[in-house]
Structure 1
Amino acid sequence: MARRSLPALAALAASTTLLLTACGGGSDDSSDKIEGAGQGSGKPSASASTDDGSPDVSVPKDLKLVFDFSKPSDPKQAAAVDNAANYIRALKHGIVQQDENDPAYKHYSAAQAAQYAKTQIKTWVKGGWVPTGTDRYFKSEATELGEGKAVLVTFCRNQAKSFSKDIKGGKIHYGKESLDSYQKFSVLMSRPQGDAKVWKAQTVEVQGRVKECRG
């Protein structure tokens, strides 16, 4: 991938759109090409962590998060893509936990991206919903910025088969596939600092009704 100059980071942050998708969707595909990303299932726990110290990002079995991503050959880009997926998993974990201060998303994000996750979680908590169904993310690309100080990870989302479910009563709010089902994410991942090992999401931009993601 071509490199971009560091000023592009500020431009991306300035153009960030907080697009709330409280009743959004997904798609059915069981493959996950990211190695070591640790897609979880079963009952989640807000305080649990894995052997390597990373937080639990598991979700219930009725919610399938699919990341049909190709792993870049460059180690930095691969790590950034990996943790961009974990950022999404952590956000979903926080929604399922109904905890706007869930430690999972804080582990994988900072700055505006952390605020975005918190805002998303608060919206679902206020609505009394949790996600269910299949939520698919695909067509990932990674672009190195600022001499390797950051990586811009972009990917599409198909939320046509992901739905919101009422916590009280369990009613599922189904919807039909349309252009509204397709989004494009641009997640700016920053290189780990000091002894840190995790690439963290700094900003996230979400575009709705993206035709290129539908094709």
Structure 2
Amino acid sequence: MPIVATLVASATLLLTACGSGGSDDSSDKIEGAGQGSSKPSPSASANGGTPDLALPKDLKVEFGSSKPSDPRDAAAQENAENYIRALNHGITAQDPEDPAYQFYGLGNAARYAREQIKSWVDDKWTATGTDSYYRAKTDKVGTAGVLVTMCRDQSKFYGKNVDTEKIRYTKPSLDDYQEFRLLMKQPKGEQKIWKVLQIEVEGRVKECRR
């Protein structure tokens, strides 16, 4: 797909940057209005310095893919999933400055997360239901990066108005199926944790239908 080709072609340049460079080509929002009756704390937990990713009981984020056999790819995929959990955490916490996405996202990916969360907050929506991800695959990018690709089904992922608590249900359609591409890198330093440097989302992906 053209977007994937663009992402991979620019990966070497992005991975040698400081993490804040490059252009943000992603324009698709995390679709499906937000919900979640209770708001998790946006503060980071004491568990190894990693942030709190707890979600309200009315929101589930599911990942149905097996882990790669390569430990490096498996670690990259795990934190690509954590970045998505962090996005949902920020939405339900109603906090555009939530530390969770800032921990798992760098540069364009961190800006993308902030914009998505802020959009939900400004429109007075939070998230509820089930947000499903599956068919994940990993591809090495140069010697320092991993591209994680996965499908998304948001047909049971809905928005709930934070004031009225009214849920905005949607009818299942091709709009529910997206493909996420997350370019992962390991920043230098003491915490060699895989983080998302760039994210691109393609909507209405027929191949992602289940």
TM-score, with length taken from structure 2? 0.86
Give the Cα–Cα distance (whole angstroms) in 1 for the partners of residues 111 and 12 of structure 2.
17
* Structure 1 residue 48, shift from structure 2 partner: 3.7
Which residue of 2 is the match for residue 204 of structure 1?
199
* Regions of 4+ moved over 3 Å: 10-15
* Structure 1 residue 140, shift from structure 2 partner: 0.2
Residue 192 (1) aligns with residue 194 (2): no
Question: When the two structures are aligned, how many residues end up with a matched partner?
Answer: 194
Aligned with residue 177 of structure 2, among 182, 186, 190: 182
Give the Cα–Cα distance (whole angstroms) in 2 for the partners of residues 193 and 7 of structure 1.
22
Aligned with residue 11 of structure 2, among 9, 12, 24: 9
CA contact (8 A) 2:80 2:148 kept: yes
* Structure 1 residue 50, shift from structure 2 partner: 4.2
Give the Cα–Cα distance (whole angstroms) in 1 for the partners of residues 185 and 29 of structure 2.
23
Give the Cα–Cα distance (whole angstroms) in 2 for the partners of residues 198 and 56 of structure 1.
16
Partner SS, residue 137 of structure 1? strand
* Structure 1 residue 51, shift from structure 2 partner: 1.9
* Structure 1 residue 206, shift from structure 2 partner: 0.2
Which residue of 2 is the match for residue 30 of structure 1?
none
Which residue of 2 is the match for residue 138 of structure 1?
134
Partner SS, residue 133 of structure 1? strand
Aligned-residue RMSD, C-alpha: 2.1
Give the Cα–Cα distance (whole angstroms) in 2 for the partners of residues 213 and 182 of structure 1.
6
Q: Percent identical across equivalent pairs?
A: 49
* Structure 1 residue 192, shift from structure 2 partner: 3.5
* Structure 1 residue 197, shift from structure 2 partner: 2.6
Written as runs of structure 1 = structure 2, the 5 A alignment for 1:1-215 is 7-9=9-11, 16-23=25-32, 44-147=40-143, 149-215=144-210
Partner SS, residue 183 of structure 1? strand
Which residue of 1 is the match for residue 4 of structure 2?
none
CA contact (8 A) 1:83 1:200 kept: yes
TM-score, with length taken from structure 1? 0.84
CA contact (8 A) 2:41 2:52 kept: yes
Provide, for residues 97-146 of structure 1, a one-character-per-residue CA deviation record: whole Å limited to 9, x for no partner: 11111100000011000000000001100110100001100000000111
Structure 2 unaligned residues grouped into runs of 5+ = 1-7, 15-21
Give the Cα–Cα distance (whole angstroms) in 1 for the partners of residues 68 and 187 of structure 2.
18
